[in-house]
Amino acid sequence: MSRTRIKICGLTREADVDEAVDAGADALGFVLYERSARHVPLARAIELAGRLPPFVTPVLLFVNATPQSLRSASEALPQALLQFHGDETPAQCDSADRPYLRAARMAPGFDLLDFAAEFAGAQALLLDTHVDGYGGSGKVFDWSLIPPSVPLPVVLSGGLNPANVTEGVLAVRPWAVDVSSGVEIGKGLKSGPLMRRFCKAVREADARLAAL
């Protein structure tokens, strides 16, 4: 059993970046969607990502961005993973010519296997709760909606926090987990203690799985 990777998303402050790395995050997400309360301009994302040590991956989150915006961001942060969270088609995602995550908004009736086949070029599928509009809901979706065998790595998202992420890892056994509001004291303002508790809870779940 490989360990579950941890992505913390929506960072806006230097101190939060440093504490997230210290807590054990594998990837940090920077939101380039202007309508998000956690939005940072590309120049700011570059500054924050510059604090990351080797082997901690910056992730740039887009919602229906223009091709020029994607090119600019990719050229400015060539080491970043892209995350598409809008209505992007497979062709639009693939045209970025960069490794990417594709968000899937989970709801009854949504066919994740068809979605996975459609976005076969993705590095992984990030499973989030369906909401009107775009962005995270801070709410947990019904994990039983996830098919038992998904052909791409799964990143479990949607309402995770230090209190429920152990259960999520044990139930879903995802390749990675993603958290934003669950480790915040305000929109875009992360809590060091909550991030550490979250990462510790993931490691506890990994230990329990390894013991099975």
pLDDT on residue 207 = 96
pLDDT on residue 31 = 97
Q: Which of 16, 26, 93, 128 is catalytic?
A: 128
**Based on the structure, what is the number of domains in the chain?**
1
Contact 185, 16 (CB under 8 A): no
Per-residue model confidence as pLDDT tens digits over 120-165 = 999 999 999 987 666 666 789 999 999 999 999 999 999 999 999 9
Q: Which of 9, 16, 26, 178 is catalytic?
A: 9
Instruction: For residues 21 and 13, give the distance between their C-alpha atoms in angstroms, rounded to a whole number.
Output: 13
* Arithmetic mean of pLDDT, 190-203: 98
Q: Domain residues for 74?
A: 5-210
pLDDT on residue 42 = 97
Contact 14, 187 (CB under 8 A): no
Q: Is 26 a catalytic residue?
A: no
pTM of the model: 0.96
Burial call 138-173: b when 16+ CB within 10 Å, e when fewer: eebbeeeebeeebebebbbbbbbbbeebbebbeebe
CATH number assigned to the domain comprising residue 44: 3.20.20.70
Per-residue model confidence as pLDDT tens digits over 7-63 = 999 999 999 999 999 999 999 999 999 999 999 999 999 999 999 999 999 999 999
pLDDT on residue 136 = 61
Q: Is 93 a catalytic residue?
A: no
Confidence of residue 83 (pLDDT cuts 50, 70, 90): very high
- Provide the 3-class DSSP secondary structure of residue 109: coil
- Report whether pLDDT(114) > 60: yes
* Arithmetic mean of pLDDT, 167-189: 97
